[in-house]
Structure 1
Amino acid sequence: MIRLCATSELLEGQSRGFTVGELKVIAVRRDGRTYLYENRCPHRGVPLEWRPDQFLDDSGSLLQCATHGALFLIESGECVAGPCDGQTLRQLDAVEDKDSIWLQTDRQSDS
């Protein structure tokens, strides 16, 4: 597992970006749960944000790609509007304890 941040550094309704090696990660907290996605729009393969940690639309209820305005459900990563309608962001496995938010990796050596 790879530690992304302290639990207190991702508050309800907030999003943050992280880089783990070559992987760019989006973290967003909604209804007390942390969701992680690869920061890569399925339409053009570009990162979603145009400013650091700016992944949410104006309402704060959807993830938004700044390049072409695609909108994604926070809970599933499904695109519900825009050029990649029906496609999804690649969801990553989040593990959260009382102190930290972790990215679950497949490598045995990280355990």
Structure 2
Amino acid sequence: MSDQWDRHEVCADGELLPGMRKVVTIRRQEIVVLNVEGRLYALQNRCPHMGVPLAHGAVCGTMVPSDPGTHVYGCHNAIIKCPLHGWEYSLESGHNVFASEKVRIRTYEVVVEDHTIYLLTPKKIG
């Protein structure tokens, strides 16, 4: 691991089973760690629209670009939806699905080492 990252213990890997979520606070920032079908994601626990906790949002897919008059569902379990107004964000990148590239939530790297889940954050400077 690089000297650029701080490693924060989240929990034992057996404590965050598929479908579960855990909110942790690091440097006064709430981060939600999700296990989606065995894949771990971490993102800020706040929708930039109105500050609602995303930990309560549905993990789902969304409608994807398609031919006029057709509706195609895609991105299965790759989206988290804000529980208040339905804003959708990519679990992978944090970008809002339908807004400009400027609207996004922060994402973090998650690693599993020695049966423990860790969250990586940029090293605090100063």
1:90 Cα offset (Å): 0.5
Counterpart code for 2:46? R
Q: Root-mean-square deviation (CA), in Å?
A: 2.5
Question: 1:107 aligned to 2:123?
Answer: yes
- State the TM-score, normalized to the length of structure 1: 0.70
Unaligned runs of 5+ in 1: none
The amino acid that maps onto 2:21 is S
Q: Which has the larger radius of gyration?
A: 2
Q: Could you tell me which residue of structure 2 aligns to residue 70 of structure 1?
A: 87
* Alignment pair present for 1:93 and 2:79: no
Q: Contact 2:92–2:107 (CA<8 Å) still a contact in 1?
A: no
Amino acid at match of 1:55: G
**In 2: Cα distance, 1:7 partner to 1:55 partner:** 22
Which amino acid in the other structure matches residue 81 of structure 2? Q
Q: Could you tell me whether the CA contact under 8 Å between 2:52 and 2:83 is conserved in 1?
A: no
- Structure number with the higher strand fraction is 2
Decide whether aligned partners of structure 1 residues 77 and 105 sit closer, same or farther in structure 2, where only a CA change above 3 A counts: closer
Identity, % of aligned pairs? 31
- Structure 2's unaligned 5+ residue stretches are 1-6, 62-75
TM-score, normalised to structure 2's length? 0.64
Amino acid at match of 1:29: N
Q: 2:84 and 2:22 mapped to 1: Cα distance?
A: 18
**CA distance, structure 2, for counterparts of residue 56 and residue 9 of structure 1:** 20
Instruction: Name the CA distance, whole Å, in 1 between partners of 2:16 and 2:54.
Output: 18
Quick one: distance in 2 between partners of 1:4 and 1:106? 16
Letter in 1 for 2:26: V
